[in-house]
């Protein structure tokens, strides 16, 4: 499969999940509320990472990595659509949004370093398995994580990607 095919299949999975979340009742009950998105900050890799989170803490994890020149704010409308079924986490990448890097850190803004920081972020949050949704800067960052830890991506996500 080509990289473009893989990316378009991933987008199809999220589009399908989003449409299902918006249109289907949850466990036979109508969803009458919009899940609340909370704002957080944690230290990872010497960086104060700002992130948005919503959904059940024991749900399957979706890690949303934004693109240039935005931040996790890019996903403000998507997060509530997915949060009734998934634990959705969207960090601001270093250099974007509210994530802060001390000048003494002398951070080099490379995709390798962005991936290293996101990996440290996932470790601090104790994310053992998660699916990635990536856009623009997200793919070269997130795919480095996937290549470094291919067994940590949920098998059910692989099956969903193959059906779309």
CA 87 to chain centre: 10
Q: Which three-class secondary structure state does DSSP give residue 92?
A: coil
Mean of pLDDT values over 98-127: 95
Better pLDDT: 22 or 8: 22
N-term to C-term CA, the chain: 14
- pLDDT tens digits, 74-88: 999 999 999 999 999
CA distance readout (Å), 82 to 98, 100, 106: 23, 27, 36
Q: What sign has the CA pseudo-torsion 123, 129, 130, 131? A: positive
pLDDT at residue 47 greater than cutoff 60? yes
CA diameter of the chain: 53
pTM score above 0.85: no
């Amino acid at each position: 499969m080509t990289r473009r095919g893989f990316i378009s299949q991933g987008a199809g999975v999220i589009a399908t999940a989003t449409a299902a979340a918006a249109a289907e009742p949850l466990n036979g009950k109508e969803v009458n509320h919009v899940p609340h998105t909370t704002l957080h900050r944690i230290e990872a890799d010497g960086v104060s990472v700002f992130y948005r989170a919503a959904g059940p803490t024991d749900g399957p994890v979706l890690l949303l990595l934004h693109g240039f020149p935005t931040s996790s704010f890019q996903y403000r409308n998507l997060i509530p659509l997915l949060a009734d079924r998934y634990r959705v986490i969207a960090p601001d990448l270093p250099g974007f949004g509210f994530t802060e890097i001390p000048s003494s850190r002398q951070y080099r803004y490379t995709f390798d370093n962005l991936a290293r920081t996101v990996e440290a972020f996932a470790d601090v949050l104790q994310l053992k398995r998660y699916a990635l949704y990536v856009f623009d800067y997200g793919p070269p960052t997130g795919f480095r994580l996937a290549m470094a830890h291919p067994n940590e991506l949920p098998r059910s996500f692989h099956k969903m990607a193959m059906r779309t």
